[in-house]
Amino acid sequence: MDYKLTIGWLYPELMSTYGDRGNIIVLEKRCSWRGIDTEILPIDFKTTEKQMKAIDIFFGGGAQDRQQAILIDDLTRNKGPVMKQMIEDGTPGIFVCGSPQLLGKYYITGDGKRLDGLSIFDMISRHPGTAKPRCIGNIIARIDDRFKMKGLVYKNTIVGFENHGGRTYLGNGVKPFGTVLIGCGNNGEDKTEGAIYKNCIATYSHGPFLPRNPHIADYLIGKALKMKYQKKIKISQLDDAQEWQAHDWMLKKLGVQDIVTPI
């Protein structure tokens, strides 16, 4: 049986500030190497509800406050309702850098303007103002076993780079993506990094997050296949020597010991 996944990319013209395309390339390549066809659907102001419903994986990238303000009305009025229902029904996705702020209840910008979000994730974000330092630097967090894929190498860490002024605080309806070992994470206070809701992941890690975290890319691909075809589809182990070398180099550089668990 031939498999195909459609990846929906939120506003690539406005939300691709930090090399976010790298995440799309990783998903495309890891599918292609396994014989899975992919289609990239740019979600923009012209995207219809019918097109939205064909999406199997959502992706959202980074943007500055100005870009978020431009798209927020279209996102909440026209894309939000169907997107929210799809995520509730299990459609997976990954949202990096600034895009998670749009999925929460609201975001208070640096100049005090409130941008109401989609309320998909039970969380709020606010910028403390220019007098407060930004959260900048490498980030490492420990994750739990929910991301294990049978037959694939698994590591219980994620690595990335953060650069954000906003601080995010989680409610009871979501779980953190990981526990911060190095870096600030959501707010620099409670050691949480990102958020998990249903099959969707939010992270403050910038830009190309998936190249150094292949286990997360495979988690998304596996979930998308299962949701679309309504059965568990085994995906093969790839030669990830270079990917894990990049991952482990960051762990070694920052003095964090990792655990590798083949299953």
Beta sheet of 192-193, edge-to-edge order: 157-164, 135-142, 178-182, 192-193
Partner residues linked to 142 by β-bridges: 157, 179
Choose among 140, 131, 164: nearest CA to 17. 164
Q: Which residues are catalytic?
A: 97, 206
Partner residues linked to 167 by β-bridges: 126
Scan for tokens 């002024």, then name that residue. Answer: 165
Scan for tokens 């997050």, then name that residue. Answer: 209
Show the tokens assigned to 84.
């929210």
Find the radius of gyration of the CA atoms of the chain. 17
Strands 153-155 and 260-262: antiparallel
Choose among 164, 257, 263: nearest CA to 219. 263
Residue type, 53: K
Q: Is 239 left (phi over 0), alpha (psi -120 to 50) or beta?
A: beta
